[in-house]
């Protein structure tokens, strides 16, 4: 009976997607934002760069939404999603104050085993950003982020696949203990996934959005039913360049 209910729900969601207007959502992938110039690298931009990004988006009329809001996003609005992988502490120190200043939403994906460690978000910081209503906290695995494996191994090795699923559960459990609720958005470490794992995360574990590192934008509602593409924000770029890439994919 449970399987029939799940199947009916999935049919309703997927069937509705086929007739919904295309949202054309750009999802930006950040990692670290630091005001220390010695830390700047490909995946660490400065606080001035990030603030400039937000000012650009606001000036151009973009609407920053959380991943969980993508399902009901208005296709007539210029929606964009700001995602931050790994859960570095500079998200609280640099990014969060800017989000509050401009009333902008974002998502941060947490590596469970790194919580409370030096350089990563602390439990009390996670509580505060979660309660702000501006940040969706997502799952980025517990320890699997540090594993060296390929997509083909995930597909062929049932033991590794089961370990991956249990690791996702472990990270969710840790975040539940801190926040009082679980997670419904997931970012695949290194962008590596299989359709089987994604199906398990969505149908069995209740994840509504998942993200990979494939390059592109979210063109249709049906894109949200599978691991979604993102655009990298790297040091030296600017949001004008990102916007040009979004338009090119359209």
pLDDT of amino acid 14: 44
Q: Which two tokens stand for residue 151?
A: 């997509």
96 CB neighbour count, 10 Å cutoff? 20
> Which CATH number goes with the domain that contains 49?
3.20.20.370
Residue 229 three-state SS = strand
- Return the DSSP state at 94: I
Q: Which two tokens stand for residue 14?
A: 């997927």
pLDDT of amino acid 138: 98
Give the range of the structural domain holding residue 180, as residue numbers without chain letter: 2-249
pTM for this prediction: 0.90
pLDDT of amino acid 21: 65
- For each of the chain's 250 residues, which pLDDT tens digit applies? 444 434 444 444 444 444 456 788 999 999 999 988 888 999 999 999 999 999 999 999 999 999 999 999 988 889 999 999 999 999 999 999 999 999 999 999 999 999 999 999 999 999 999 999 999 999 999 999 999 999 999 999 999 999 999 999 999 999 999 999 999 999 999 999 999 999 999 999 999 999 999 999 999 999 999 999 999 999 999 999 999 999 888 7
Domain count, the chain: 1
CA-to-CA dists, residue 37 to 48, 96, 118, 126, 202, angstroms: 11, 19, 19, 25, 40
């Amino acid at each position: 009976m449970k399987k029939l209910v799940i199947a009916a729900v999935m049919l309703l969601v997927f069937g509705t997607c086929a007739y919904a207007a295309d949202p054309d959502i750009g999802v930006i992938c950040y990692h670290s934002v630091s005001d220390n110039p010695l830390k700047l690298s490909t995946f660490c931009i400065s606080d001035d760069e990030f603030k400039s990004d937000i000012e650009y988006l606001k000036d151009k009329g973009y609407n920053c939404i959380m991943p969980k809001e993508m399902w009901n996003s208005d296709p007539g609005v210029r929606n964009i999603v700001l995602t931050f992988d790994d859960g570095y502490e500079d998200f609280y120190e640099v990014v969060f104050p800017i989000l509050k200043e401009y009333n902008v939403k974002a998502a941060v994906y947490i590596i469970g085993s790194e919580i409370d460690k030096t350089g990563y978000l602390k439990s009390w910081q996670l509580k505060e950003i979660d309660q702000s209503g501006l940040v969706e906290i997502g799952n980025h695995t517990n320890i699997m982020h540090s594993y060296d494996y390929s997509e083909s191994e995930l597909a062929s090795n049932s033991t590794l696949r089961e370990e991956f699923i249990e690791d996702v559960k472990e990270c969710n459990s840790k975040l539940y203990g801190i926040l009082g609720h679980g997670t419904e958005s997931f970012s695949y470490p290194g962008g590596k996934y299989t359709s089987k794992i994604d199906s398990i995360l969505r149908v069995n574990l209740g994840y509504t959005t998942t993200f990979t590192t494939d390059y592109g934008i979210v063109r249709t509602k049906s894109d949200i039913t599978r691991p979604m593409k993102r655009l990298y924000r790297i040091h030296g770029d600017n949001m004008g360049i990102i916007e040009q890439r979004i338009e090119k994919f359209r």
